[in-house]
Structure formats: C-alpha cells, structure tokens
Structure 1
Amino acid sequence: MDESVVIVGAGIGGLSLALSLHARGVRVTVLERAAELREVGAAVALSANGLRPLDELGLLGELEKVSAQPTALIHRGWRDDERVTAFPVGSDGSYRRRFGAPYLGIHRAEFQRVLAGACPAGMVRLGCEVTAVDPDGTVTLASGERVRGPVVVGADGVHSRVRSVVDPAARPRYTGTSAFRGIVDVADAPLLPDPGAIQFWMGPDAHVLHYAIGPHAEQINFFAVLEGPDPWTGETGPTDTDPGTLARAFDGWSPGVVQMLTAVPQSPRWPLYTLPPMTRWSRGRVVLLGDAVHTMLPHHVQGANQSIEDAAVLADLLAAPGALDGGHTAVFDRYQRLRRARTRSIQRSSLVTSGLLHLPDGPAADARNAGLTGLDPWLTWIHGVDARADTRPVPA
C-alpha cells in the first residue's frame, strides 16, 4: 500500500517509530498538535535497552555529544550522605561493555532535537490537532482535513486521545504521589555528593532521583516525589502549589539534597499516573505505543526507554512483507504478545518501588536496604534485554 503509516504524537515514542520505519523503507506521516516541537519535562535518562535501537539507527554518537554519562548508580538514605549501594556505570566502562550501550542523561529538548533532526523534511506535520480517529485508519484534524493510513499509531502519551478508540474505558489512574522537577547547575549545589552519579535518596513519604545532564555533566536534573495530595484536585497536568511546599517536605534531609532542591524556583507540582493493564492494544487499523498503552511510574527510569523498545519492535513487524496490505491484524497481535508481559512487569515493579522508596526508618527500611545490594539481576532484567530479539530480520 502506498499510503503513509500515520503516527499521532511527535514525542520520544512517535519520533523513534517514525525513524525506525523510515530506516526500513516504510512511508510515515507524523501528526503533532503543537505548533513547535517542545518536550514537556526537564530531562530523560536513557539506559542501554533504549539506546541500542537508536544506535542501530545511527543516532548514538549524536546523542552522546549532548549527554552526560553517569559515573555510578547510588542509593542513599535521607538523613546523611552514607551510601546504601553503589554500582559503577560510566566510571569504569563496565556498564557499556556489559550491555552494549552507555547510560546517558540528556535534556529532553536536546533529545527531541536529535530525533526530529534525523527525520526527512515533511515527515512531521506540526499544528495538526487530532479530533477523531476511526478504526478504519481515518484521522480527522481540527482543520477538517482527513488523513488516512493503512495503520494509525497512537503515540500521544498518558492522556492519549487515540486510546479511547481502542478502549474507551481505559484511563490513567492517579497514584497518590506527585513530583517536582528542576535543573540545577552543579556549581550551585557544592554540598551534593557525587553530582555526576544517578542517585536515589530514600526517606519517609518521599524520595529524590537526580542525575547529570549536558555534554560536560555541568547540570543536574532532579525529580522529587512526595506522597499526596490525595485526592488530586487539579488538572491532569502540572499545577502550581503553595511556595515552599517542596522545601518543607524535605526539611531535615541531607544538606546536599536541600541545597539542590532549593537552588532553583519551585516548579509546578506534577501528578503521577499509572495505567491499569490493557487487555487489547489495538482496534481495526489503530494501535497504541508507549505511555498511551502502558503509562508507568518513573521509578525505574523506563518510560522513554520502553517507548523506544515498542517502536523498534513495531517497526520490524510493520516493515515485513504484507503487513500493511491486510496483514495488520496479525502484526498487532504479535506486537502485543511480545511487549505486554515486559511492560506490565516494569509497570508493576515501578509501582511497588514507589512504596519501598518512601519507607520510614525502621526494620522495613533496613530490609529494603539489604535487598538493594542484590540489584545486579534487576539491572540485567531491564537493561540487558534485546527488545528486537524475536523480530530483527535475519541477514540474507
């Protein structure tokens, strides 16, 4: 079929799929509501499982130029700087040797710039708000224009419009936790130990994740998570809250953490969502990808990476002979079978991890800390998987 595959959403998942399909000779049109490409959020951590498919597209070198490679993965308690665990990541090269790609921290705007810059002219159409999607592959825009494809992919995020076509009852659920984000210059947080590492600080009813970004690791991206407010009474997206809310929540924490969190103005407060597992990922010619189908908490830093894995697998399947000429149903069924168990496992583990990171001092926290010394299998389970193992074409 000569029509282009239509992708709704030009975020990380949508652009990764577009580039993966283009590399396999499939025509693509990406419809993006925004008038300019502008990623929401501060930064993203890319682990080896997400970077290997991008490396196969020839993008790793460009990404490394604008990224920082964490020195280590470290967990700490909330009161002081004592390490609970520490695993080398970039400092000795062992992570890259083991998993076939580095671990990178990158500003979202830079990441999207690299992805968008690799797209051919005309592939991404901006200012195209989707108002309706029909299972037959017809997409209606706010302008009244209709765009039709052999396949329509909903890569439009946690509050996906396309998802309602597949399952109108599937809606993201607020988890009872929320987050503040920020980017701090390393020079403005001199009390923070190991600023070049990816670190989790764990404490009662809260935790902080941070990692370095920038080509010289000159900045730190932080993500501070709190319990509540419950119920969430704001909009589905970020909401301004009382000044000083973040500082009060982390009063008494390690001086380095407090200094980092207060070095920049308080951000809006972001509700954190998860999506109950969907039993179907497609309907007719419409299929879902990334956060649109498996929204997950960010506590394994896998949202973007799982979207990239989805894109690589779906691109392999859609590029196969006959896939776009009546073979889409079999493609969608196989895509769901290959991706559902893995994404469900990471969703579930991320949700459990939220509670573990927020334990008060005591026996339960001590048991958690003892368990963290066995993180090696966890890294392998997530970072060591080759998403394309079952779909990569065999060389002739």
Structure 2
Amino acid sequence: MATTDVDIAVIGGGIGGLTLALALRQRGLEAEVFEQADALREVGAAVAIAANGSRILQRLGLGDQLAAAAVVPTALQYRHWRSGTVVADHPVGDAYARRFGAPFWGIHRASLQRTLSEAWDVERLHLGRCLAGVSDRADGVLLTFRDGRTVNARTVIGADGVHSQVRRHIDASVPVYSGTSGFRGMVPTDALPSLPSPSAVQFWMGPGGHVLHYAVGESVNFLAVLDGPERWPHQAGHVDAGQGELNAAFADWHPVVRELLGAVPQSPRWGLFTLPSPLHWSRGRSVLLGDAAHAMLPHHGQGANLTIEDAAVLARCIADAGPEGYESAFGRYERLRRPRARAVQRASWDTSEALHLPDGPTADIRDERLRTLDGWLGWIHGHDPESHPASVPPLADAHP
C-alpha cells in the first residue's frame, strides 16, 4: 500500500487536535487530522471552559456557536459538606467575563466537539485511523496505522490523550494513580427540587471527599470524588462499584448532596490519574499536546483548557519557525508551556487534598483562602498565551 506524504499530521481528533488544526489554519498552515474512532464521540457528559480556554476559541471564530450551546454559571460557590453553609461565593456571569476578559461556559462535550469538527474540513479529518507505530526518518516521521496504511509526515503532533501512542515514542512514563476516585452523573434539573442555586458551579467539601456540580443545558452535571481505594487494579479506566457504594459513602452529607447523587443510577467508579510531564515533550519531528503531555486531575477543571492553550501556543511556534524550523518551534513551545502545565498539575493535585479536609483549623484556613478569588484562581483563568505566554503563580497562590 502506498505511503501518503503530509506536512503536518495531528494524531487525535478530540478537543486538542481539532483546536490545533484550526489554529494552524488561522496562521496559514494546513494539517491532516487522524482519529482512531470511526465517528467523533467525546467521552464524558460535560466540560467547563474557563476564560483561559474560551478566549482562544473566540479568537478562532467559534464564540457565537459555543455561547449558544453553553450555560454561563451565575456563581462559583463552596459549601460545607454537612450544614450546606456557603463558605465562599464568587459571582461568575458578566462579572467573571469583565474580570478575566472572556466568559465561563458549561457545555456538553458533544456540543463542543461538534462545533470544532464542523469548523474543520471533513476531507482533512481521517476517521478510523488507529496509530500502531511511529518511526523517525531523515526527512520526517513514518506513521503506521492498524489498517495497514502508512503516512510520512514532516511534523507529527500527538494529541491522542493519556494513552498516547506518540508519547510512547517520546517517553516511557505511565499514568500515576492519585489515590482518589470518582463517580459521574447527569441529572435533569427538575429532578432536584432542593438544589440551591442550580445555575452555580458548586463544590461541597468534606472529610475524605467532595462533590462538584454545575448546570449544562437543562441538566446538572456532577463529579463525586472519594479518597481511595489505596490501589487501582489497572492503569486508568473504571471499575464496577458495589451496589449503593456511592450513596453509602455520602450517607452523612447534606440532604441536597444525597438527593443529587441518588437521582440517577450509580455510574462506574473512575480512577483519577495524572500523567507526569516528561523531561522532553518532543523527539525529532514529533511533539506532544494536551493530556498526552500533562494529563491532570480534574479539580481545577483545567484539562481541556490547558489543551486549548497548548494548541494556540504550538500553532504560533510552528508558524513563526517556518516549515523546517521544527526544532526551534518545539523547543520554544516546551519552554513556554511546560512550567505552566506543571504548576496547574500540582495545583490540581493539592486542591484534591484541600477539598477533603476534616472540619478543624486547617479547613478554616482553607475556607478563608477560598474567599479570595484572585489569590488562587486568577493566575489560571486570567492567563492569555498571546500576552503572557508563560504564566505560573507564586508558590503560595497555587492552591487553596
């Protein structure tokens, strides 16, 4: 079978791969996107797009479509696990957009995926192309797919997620289990008569666990996180939990939490993993983007947003360096992105511990810090890679 020659091959047709392809096109460069699925199906019910992601999507001309499909939360609230007392309350909506220069959207992953794919060229999106091998050549990278077809690419971007085949070509590290796991669900809003402020993003914080929920369309998306189990049986993925395991874990929590978690059938239990940032994000003409480079825990809601940031920066670096300047492009991209990605990874890990504190003096200190939005959140949401390409916080501001 003949080998196809392409200039830029993007492996992965998810949020990161399609955003990168669109960002490259905006700078006059065309890519070919290869996706292993035979149809675009985003895993997960919803995604939170903060200002650091939405500002980039707006610049790609997608703002109106995404805004029409999204819900803008009214507030960000933190609540006590048992009493329901609001520990911290920050307005979102227009106040958030004014503060950070772009909106906060709660949106179905399928809607985001559809908007990105419709903006891309279907002739340059190759479905059913599962990557099986990556080999360096003097003039490019040979990509071998499971269907036997091959592609020789001048440049390869691995946007193929936490189990990235491109990453295996660059780095041998594997995902690290966090010692926490979660249950997910999507509940119709009208099934939650007791839910206070249903249009707010809310964290319920308590000993050994927390619950995050926010509105998406006419539903409320939730993630309930628990400490444990101590070990996970395999790398990433999920396991079937015992019947009633989720409700039993939160049996002593506020009635609103129990109403939310009990409103839909229990999901599988998902292990929460992070992927250590490799020493180098590139090898030869291949480079990593998004979860393939720095998968992180979900407690700052930044996985998709950091991927979108990566795409904007990498597109600029490739365009600035020119067709044969991949070494300088990749080096610059890594210098700009690696410190920030590691800082957000660390903050997400530490935030998990902070949200699971038992009542007491340490939790009181956390609560006081949560009342100061800019102190621990501004460095993440306010980031703009166009004006401040390498933004990391002072150590004290990395987490609550």
Do both share a fold (TM > 0.5)? yes
Q: Distance in 2 between matches of 1:359 and 1:314?
A: 38
Counterpart residue identity of residue 341, structure 1: P
Match of 1:31 in 2: 34
2:57 is the alignment partner of 1:50: no
Is the partner of 1:368 in helix, strand or coil? helix
Q: Report Cα offsets for 1:154-183 as digits up to 9, x if no partner.
A: 111112111111112x11101111111111
Deviation at 1:300, TM superposition (A): 0.7
Gaps of 5+ in 2: 390-400
Number of residue pairs aligned between Structure 1 and Structure 2: 382
Counterpart residue identity of residue 124, structure 1: L
Question: Are the aligned partners of 1:54 and 1:60 in contact in 2 as well (CA < 8 Å)?
Answer: yes
Match of 1:291 in 2: 291
1:332 alignment partner, one of 330, 333, 351: 330
Question: Are the aligned partners of 1:180 and 1:268 in contact in 2 as well (CA < 8 Å)?
Answer: yes
Q: Report Cα offsets for 1:298-338 as digits up to 9, x if no partner.
A: 1111000000000000011112252x22x101100000000
Q: Report Cα offsets for 1:216-246 as digits up to 9, x if no partner.
A: xx21110111111121114631221112111
Deviation at 1:269, TM superposition (A): 1.1
**What stretches of structure 1 move > 4 A for 4+ residues in a row?**
none
Deviation at 1:123, TM superposition (A): 1.5
Match of 2:396 in 1: none
Question: Are the aligned partners of 2:136 and 2:142 in contact in 1 as well (CA < 8 Å)?
Answer: yes
2:215 is the alignment partner of 1:212: yes
Q: Report Cα offsets for 1:101-154 as digits up to 9, x if no partner.
A: 110000111110111111112121110010011234211000111112111011
2:248 is the alignment partner of 1:244: no
Q: Percent identity?
A: 53
RMSD: 1.3
| 1:216-231 → structure 2 map (5 Å cutoff) | 218-231=218-231
2:149 is the alignment partner of 1:118: no
Match of 1:8 in 2: 11
Gaps of 5+ in 1: 392-396
Question: Are the aligned partners of 1:289 and 1:307 in contact in 2 as well (CA < 8 Å)?
Answer: yes
Is the partner of 1:41 in helix, strand or coil? coil
Match of 2:266 in 1: 266
Q: Distance in 2 between matches of 1:256 and 1:184?
A: 13
Is the partner of 1:159 in helix, strand or coil? coil
Is the partner of 2:349 in helix, strand or coil? helix
Match of 1:108 in 2: 109
Question: Are the aligned partners of 1:81 and 1:193 in contact in 2 as well (CA < 8 Å)?
Answer: no
Match of 2:183 in 1: 180
Is the partner of 1:209 in helix, strand or coil? strand
Deviation at 1:257, TM superposition (A): 1.1
Question: Are the aligned partners of 2:321 and 2:329 in contact in 1 as well (CA < 8 Å)?
Answer: no
Question: Are the aligned partners of 2:177 and 2:236 in contact in 1 as well (CA < 8 Å)?
Answer: no
Q: Distance in 1 between matches of 2:206 and 2:159?
A: 35
Question: Are the aligned partners of 2:180 and 2:271 in contact in 1 as well (CA < 8 Å)?
Answer: yes
Is the partner of 2:122 in helix, strand or coil? coil
Deviation at 1:42, TM superposition (A): 1.3
Counterpart residue identity of residue 233, structure 1: P
Q: Distance in 1 between matches of 2:16 and 2:318?
A: 15
Q: Report Cα offsets for 1:267-300 as digits up to 9, x if no partner.
A: 1111111122321000011000001111111111
Q: Distance in 1 between matches of 2:360 and 2:43?
A: 37
Q: Distance in 2 between matches of 1:342 and 1:390?
A: 11
What TM-score do you get using the length of structure 2 for normalisation? 0.93
Q: Distance in 2 between matches of 1:279 and 1:11?
A: 24
Match of 1:394 in 2: none
Is the partner of 1:202 in helix, strand or coil? strand
What TM-score do you get using the length of structure 1 for normalisation? 0.94
Match of 1:147 in 2: 151
Question: Are the aligned partners of 1:179 and 1:272 in contact in 2 as well (CA < 8 Å)?
Answer: yes
Question: Are the aligned partners of 1:30 and 1:123 in contact in 2 as well (CA < 8 Å)?
Answer: yes
Deviation at 1:388, TM superposition (A): 2.2
Is the partner of 1:243 in helix, strand or coil? coil
